[in-house]
Amino acid sequence: FTRLYPYQALRTMFRECDFAVITVPLTPQTRGMIGASELSALKPGAFLVVIGRGGVVDETALLEALQDKRLGGAALDVFAEEPLAPTSPLWKAPNLIISPHIAGLSAHYDERAMALFAANLRRYIQGEKLFNLYEPERGY
Query: Each residue of 38-48: pLDDT tens digit?
Result: 999 999 999 99
Q: Is residue 15 part of a domain?
A: yes
Residues 16 and 40 in one domain: yes
Task: Please return the burial class of 11, using the count of CB atoms within 10 Å of its CB with bins 0-12, 13-18 and 19+.
Answer: middle
Instruction: Report the alpha-carbon angle 56-9-90, nearest 5.
Output: 30
pTM (predicted TM-score): 0.88
User: How many distinct structural domains can be found in the chain?
Assistant: 2
H/E run at residue 85: none
User: What residue type is 109 in one-letter code?
Assistant: Y
Does the active-site annotation cover 53? yes
Q: Is residue 118 part of a domain?
A: yes
Mean pLDDT score across all residues of the chain: 95
Does the active-site annotation cover 101? yes
> Given this model, what pLDDT does residue 81 score?
96
Least confident residue range of 41-50, 111-120, 129-138: 129-138
**CA torsion 92→95→101→106, rounded to 10°?**
150
Asked if 118 and 125 touch (Cβ cutoff 8 Å), the reply is no
> Given this model, what pLDDT does residue 3 score?
87
Q: What is the mean pLDDT of residues 75-82?
A: 97
Residues 110 and 121 in one domain: yes
Q: Is residue 93 part of a domain?
A: yes
| Residue 128 confidence class, pLDDT cut points 50, 70, 90 | very high
> In terms of residue numbers, what domain contains 74?
7-105
Q: What is the mean pLDDT of residues 108-117?
A: 97
Catalytic option among 82, 111, 122, 123: 82
DSSP string, 15-54: TT-SEEEE-----TTTTT-B-HHHHHHSPTT-EEEE-S-T
Q: What is the mean pLDDT of residues 98-113?
A: 95
Residues 60 and 118 in one domain: no
CA 96 and chain centroid, separation: 15
Does the active-site annotation cover 122? no
Tens digits of residue pLDDT in 5-60: 998 999 999 999 999 999 999 999 999 999 999 999 999 999 999 999 999 999 99
Residues 62 and 116 in one domain: no
Catalytic option among 11, 31, 70, 101: 101
> Given this model, what pLDDT does residue 85 score?
96
The phi and psi torsions of 66 (rounded to 5 degrees) equal -70, -45
- Alpha carbon of 138 to those of 23, 133, 135: distances in Å? 15, 11, 5
